[in-house]
Amino acid sequence: MKRPLNKSLLSNLRCTACKSKYESQKIYTTCPRCGKILFAEYELEKAKENILNLENRSFNIWRFSEIMPVINPKYQYTLGEGWTPLLKLRRSAKSLKKLFLKDEGLNPTGTFKSRGLCAAVSKAKELGITKFVIPTAGNAGAALAAYCACVGAEAHIFMPSDTPEMLIAEVRMFGGNITLVDGLINTAATLVHEKSIELNWFDVSTLKEPYRVEGKKTMAFEIVEQNNWEVPDVIIYPTGGGTGIVGMWKAFNEMEGLGLIGSKRPRMVSVQTEGCAPIWKAFQKNQTKAEEFDNASTLAPGLRVPKAFGDYLILRAIYDSGGTVVKVTDAEIIRAMNILAKDEGILQAPEAAATYASLDYLLENKFLDKSEEIILFGTGSGLIYPHLW
């Protein structure tokens, strides 16, 4: 297997709110001072020296190892996540000349969650952690269980009791320890926090440790490299916890610091469902953080997140990029799944299909120009959701 040429140039952790700085080789979850999200920072000037020397590098999330968090290459675990295809949509393109779908369904556990949990588990293993816990709507739990199996660690997964049976079975197959919860992911998160303290399990909840987002940011590096180092005009992303948008926005800033791109940024579009739209509501009110969404309900489990911990970073990326937020219905999602399957041969998860469902609204409101390059993020495979076929 090909290995990266260079070691990580991780320098420190920094709080995204109060800007406090912390050592990178100590174990942290959130900022000890203010409780907000920590980001990894790198020696970008030094990384410039070899960053474009791509010969013999792996086609996975460790491709740009200088700006990934694992210091010792032996802890760069992989199941083959990343470097997913960028597919041009033709029969279903709605007269858009450059409409692409990044098919994350080809990751090892069938969704983009493989990226984040690979990075988080790998770095935690390097720091000596062997017991993990996560609240999940399903897919993140499966990814944690898979990577814990890969590295020989314990995985404890708390998920809603109405999680699709396919996802529960996937976690069990990977050897994950499951606790089914009466309630939504926020209820599971409360229990996870209690158990992490009581039993000294490492909590890898969305954005409550610094490294899942590092795996997710690789999606932005890939689309730019796959696009001959050009930044697309628009990125449309389904948003539950929002790590994907947050990670990619971080990546674009790092790419500019590395000299790989200029100042151009894509307009970031967040897609939520009518039954769970906290970011949409906050955007309508021009707020910088979101309120909890009451009675959240949708057939897309990954979008049923009533309150995102990283709401302020999601909204910041949307505002700073000149983006927007769209909400779609469950019926529109099912229709989009059918169109992508029958017209393109691409079977997408409901969360992923929500991005395609948003196009009618974006075109009607003239947010999109038909000549622009637009990327839909197909965050997961429809094979995981046979009950929706």
Find where tokens 């190892």 sit: 65
C-alpha torsion sign, points 177, 72, 76, 229: positive
Question: Which of these, 45, 42, 43, 63, lies nearest to 54 by C-alpha position?
Answer: 63
Cα(165)–Cα(171) distance, rounded to whole angstroms? 10
What three-state secondary structure class fits 303? helix
What integer is the mean pLDDT of 109-137?
Answer: 97
Residue 2 has pLDDT above 80, yes or no: no
Q: Are strands 86-88 and 98-103 parallel, antiparallel or unpaired?
A: antiparallel
pLDDT given for residue 247 in this prediction: 98
All domains of the chain in start order, with CATH: 81-389 (3.40.50.1100)
* % of residues, the chain, pLDDT over 70: 99
Exposure string (b/e) for 107-140, b if CB count within 10 Å is 16 or more?
A: bbbbbbbbbbbbbbbbbbbbbebeebbbbbbbbb
Contact 135, 128 (CB under 8 A): no
Confidence of residue 6 (pLDDT cuts 50, 70, 90): confident
pLDDT digits (tens, 9 = 90+) for 358-373: 999 999 999 999 999 9
Question: Which of these, 128, 137, 120, lies nearest to 298 by C-alpha position?
Answer: 137
Alpha helices in the chain (DSSP H): 44-47, 113-126, 139-151, 165-173, 185-199, 212-226, 243-257, 278-284, 311-321, 330-339, 350-357, 359-364
Encoded tokens for 80: 């083959």
Question: CB within 8 A of 198, min separation 6: which ones?
Answer: none
Contact 298, 341 (CB under 8 A): no
Beta-bridged to residue 98, according to DSSP, are 373
Question: CB within 8 A of 158, min separation 6: which ones?
Answer: 133, 134, 135, 136, 178, 179, 181, 188, 189, 191, 192, 195
pLDDT given for residue 125 in this prediction: 98
pLDDT given for residue 1 in this prediction: 47
pLDDT given for residue 190 in this prediction: 95
pLDDT given for residue 109 in this prediction: 97
Beta-bridged to residue 324, according to DSSP, are 269
Global confidence as pTM? 0.95
What integer is the mean pLDDT of 10-35?
Answer: 97
pLDDT digits (tens, 9 = 90+) for 274-325: 999 999 999 999 999 999 999 999 999 999 999 999 999 999 999 999 999 9
pLDDT digits (tens, 9 = 90+) for 25-73: 999 999 999 999 999 999 999 999 989 888 889 999 999 999 999 999 9
Find where tokens 């269980």 sit: 145
CB atoms within 10 A of CB 177: 14
Cα(219)–Cα(255) distance, rounded to whole angstroms? 12
Confidence of residue 4 (pLDDT cuts 50, 70, 90): very low
Provide the greatest CA pair distance for the chain. 56
pLDDT digits (tens, 9 = 90+) for 92-120: 999 999 999 999 999 999 999 999 999 99
pLDDT digits (tens, 9 = 90+) for 301-310: 999 999 999 9
